[in-house]
Amino acid sequence: MTGIASHTVRPGHAGLTAALGLLILLLIWETGARALSDSYILAAPSEVLVWLRDNRGLMARALTQTLTNAAMGFAAGNLAAIALAGVALVWPGAQRTIMGLALLVFCLPLVATGPILRVLLGPGNGPQIWLAALAVYYTTLIPLLVGLRAAPSVWLDLIRSYGRGRGAELIYVRARAALPYLFAGLQIATPAAFLGAMVGEFTGAERGMGVLTTRFIRAMDVPAVWALASVAAAVSILAYAAIGWLAKAVLRDKPPIILALPPARSAHGTRDALLVCVLALLLWWGLMQGLGLSRFFAKRPGDVFDALFLAPDAAETRMVLLDALIQTIIYVVPGYLAGLALGAGLAVLLILAPALAAVAMPVAVALRSVPIVTTAPLIVLALGRGALGTTTLVAIMVFFPSFVACLHGLRQAPGQIMDVFDSYAAGPISRLIHVRIPAMLPAFFAAARMSVPAAILAVTVIEWLATGRGIGSLMALSASLSDYDMLWASVVAVALLSVLCHAAVAMLERRVLRVFAAEQAVT
């Protein structure tokens, strides 16, 4: 192999370089904090440590609570993902519908489902666990579906040639072949579960790190806010690393960096989408009816339609909703595009300077596992409650997954083609343009697609917690005013927006990949 591979650090050195990267990060942080010591923005690592020492009892209780909720949600969400993947395997015809519904549910804004679950489930840990489960099941389901179909068909032929059927295929081949994919999904799910639990706690729990976060933001206790975010980050990184370690022990290989399934083009795209919509409406209605929930807060599809189109104040409701939605779009689009561009740009830069990549990569992978949204309060502290803070948070949310995916994609450049370029003594720029960037495109688009719900989650959380604008704020306001018509209408609007953006990126992806990566595009 050429290029970066020859510079890749050996396993023994990887930990060392990562530690070095972390140390540099801490130093920059400490210096920055000392420089800005009077501005109530940044708490230095030393201050964070002091705060943690002084408040260790409080912190330990909150952490235990949040971890318990996250772990329960993690288990529930991943079991649901495994069950859904199982249904898709047994009944392949249902896979599109399952994926469509799963995406739609994943696109429900946690910010609104939180308060709704709070009303439905009452006080206690229910909403936190549910939100953690909702935050993880999709990121496990997608790699698992890929993994269960990843086994070469000849392995399945082998099983069949000995006269055995689908059961034996699953036991001896598919289940084991899917394990690396499952672990990759579980790894991504760990920070997501923590994030879900914290968002659940934002919605009015009694204890937990989310509760402390909202309390200290109101009190402008800068070291406390930084301490909470640092602990959330550290716990997530450790959990992420623990799953990685477990995977290594079980598989004897590192889990692969899995990119989402490239969406297959369907001959019946419109029909499938309609089916998903109808099923989603039926499921929604059936759930509310089946549980016998009060129409006052548990709105049915018909109620939302009434509120938006038939009620006397329908025009005004639509207006308010549309206004908020447009405001959110204005914030989320630049952040989303900036995050993608920065991620891809930095990855390209690091490919040209491989020595730098050895230091930056472990740090980026570690930071990718930070539940970014839990750092929302910090960004508000640092950049204010305006457009800059919001855009920055969205950009950061999108940046890390795209950076890691792009770097991975750039390294996927086929060795033999690189050898051909080497034999013509082609320079690094020429190799980059002709080989590496085309090889990166599938990874780039997979990240772009998966970042859509993440970006919308980020923008709604920050609007809700801080800026007081846009759809996130509207949802918070509606929840506190018990305006459940508006709340449910917002949920529908945000979910639709996410799904439509997701579909738009997927469409662009298919067009580009058909040209640049024909063998990787699923047609």
Partner 1 sequence: MAAEQPFGDPPPQITCAGLSKSFAGGMQVLAPLDLTIAAGRTTALVGPSGCGKSTLLRLIAGLAEPSAGSIGIGGVSPAQMRRSGAISMAFQDPSLLPWRTVRSNIALAQKLVRQPADPAAVDHLIDLVGLTGFGDTRPAALSGGMRQRAAIARALITRPRLLLLDEPFGAVDELTRRQLAQELPRLWEPQGTTTLLVTHSVDEAVLLADRVLVLSPRPARVVADIAITLPRPREPLVIHRAEFRELAAEISAALAEGAGQPPSQAAE
Q: Which amino acid is at 53?
A: R
# of chain residues touching partner 1 (CB under 8 A): 16
**Binding positions for partner 1, 214-253, rule CB under 8 A:** 251
Under 8 Å between Cβ of 47 and 30: no
> Measured between alpha carbons, how far is residue 199 from residues 69, 112, 212, 324, 476 in Å?
11, 10, 12, 21, 13
305 touching partner 1, by CB under 8 A: no
Least distance from partner 1 to the Cβ atom of residue 264, Å: 17
173 touching partner 1, by CB under 8 A: yes
First-to-last C-alpha distance (Å) of the chain: 30
- Per-residue binder mask for partner 1 (CB under 8 A), 142-161, x = binder: ----------x-xx-xxxxx
Q: In this structure, is the dihedral angle defined by the CA atoms of residues 170, 176, 179 and 181, taken in order, positive or negative?
A: negative
424 touching partner 1, by CB under 8 A: no
277 touching partner 1, by CB under 8 A: no
Under 8 Å between Cβ of 104 and 499: yes
- By beta-carbon proximity to partner 1, the closer residue of 108 and 173 is 173
Q: Which of 7, 13, 34, 164 is the binder for partner 1 (CB under 8 A)?
A: 164
Segments of 125-278 assigned E as strands: none
- Per-residue binder mask for partner 1 (CB under 8 A), 175-214, x = binder: -x--------------------------------------
Which range touches partner 1 (CB under 8 A), out of 113-121, 163-171, 206-214, 325-333?
163-171
- By beta-carbon proximity to partner 1, the closer residue of 249 and 425 is 249
Which range touches partner 1 (CB under 8 A), out of 90-98, 164-172, 291-299, 479-487?
164-172
170 touching partner 1, by CB under 8 A: no
Under 8 Å between Cβ of 73 and 132: yes
Q: Which of 93, 122, 163, 427 is the binder for partner 1 (CB under 8 A)?
A: 163
Please name which of 454, 452, 499, 495 lies closest in space to residue 471, comparing C-alpha atoms. Answer: 495
- By beta-carbon proximity to partner 1, the closer residue of 168 and 333 is 168
- By beta-carbon proximity to partner 1, the closer residue of 62 and 178 is 178
Structure tokens at 194: 């923590």
- By beta-carbon proximity to partner 1, the closer residue of 1 and 171 is 171
In angstroms, the CA 399 to CA 396 distance is 5
Please name which of 57, 60, 58, 34 lies closest in space to residue 45, comparing C-alpha atoms. Answer: 34
In angstroms, the CA 375 to CA 209 distance is 12
Please name which of 390, 490, 389, 454 lies closest in space to residue 112, comparing C-alpha atoms. Answer: 490
Structure tokens at 297: 């807060």
- By beta-carbon proximity to partner 1, the closer residue of 251 and 311 is 251
- By beta-carbon proximity to partner 1, the closer residue of 92 and 163 is 163
162 touching partner 1, by CB under 8 A: yes
268 touching partner 1, by CB under 8 A: no
267 touching partner 1, by CB under 8 A: no
Please name which of 167, 172, 182 lies closest in space to residue 81, comparing C-alpha atoms. Answer: 182
Binding site for partner 1 (CB under 8 A): 152, 154-155, 157-164, 168, 172-173, 176, 251
